[in-house]
Amino acid sequence: MSETQEHRTIVEISDEQVKAMKAQLKDAPVLFEWTTRVTTDKFHQGINVFLSSILGGVFFIASYDPGSLSNIFKFLICFGVGWMCWAFLHYLVCAPVIYHYQLTTLGIRYTRLEDIPESAYSVVRKLAYVGIGVCIISVFIFGPFAFVGAGGMALMAFNFTGFEKKKEEFTALFYEKGKVALHPTKRWIKMRADVSSFAFYHEVNCRPEESDFVLAAILEFADGYQLVDEI
């Protein structure tokens, strides 16, 4: 089927209809559910360490004073700046996430929860206050150069003072007709209904060893959906 022909089959749906369907999905009985944990791959973990090291290194090189004993303090401060950058990337941008999915005939409702121990949140909050102090002190040690990055890092550290675990809720709606595709890695499943709203296009995560069961359940209860190779 050509793109033009496929476009003609797309059903226009209003925001009010989407809201009504989400409200119905909230109370729909659960027919199948699963939980999966998504972690950052080693490649992105390496990038986090690399970027943090570069940031701390740039600060140290720019402020290095040959023969001065203050270089020791500058190194410690730059190490702290690099650590804050790594903590931001690791715990906020690339933190492991736990997804819990509940499948119904109307769609899928699920929660997203960052999988970080509560002790880690407590440590990060305390170190954030230390980081703010380090950034302030760096202004006096580095001089005007510190305002280039220390101010931004201080604001970042301030955000960490209220760092806590948050659970978010999402929905993936079904419609009369749609397509389902399993990713080659078997780590997620794509779903797209022939509807104009993005509320009917979604990706759900799963464990590779459970992907066949999850896929079979979606095809069973999402009446009118067909399995395809790619979406």
- Backbone φ and ψ for 94, nearest 5 degrees, come out as -125, 30
Nearest-angstrom CA–CA distance, 167 and 114 = 7
- pLDDT for 11 equals 83
- pLDDT for 219 equals 94
- Per-10-residue mean pLDDT, the chain, length 231: 50 89 94 90 68 69 66 72 72 80 96 79 66 62 53 54 74 92 93 88 93 94 90 81
Nearest-angstrom CA–CA distance, 57 and 159 = 23
- The structural domains of the chain, with segments of one domain joined by +, span 3-227
- pLDDT for 77 equals 72
- pLDDT for 3 equals 44
Nearest-angstrom CA–CA distance, 135 and 55 = 14
Closest CA to 137 of 121, 154, 120, 119: 154
CA angle 171, 174, 175 (to 5 degrees): 145
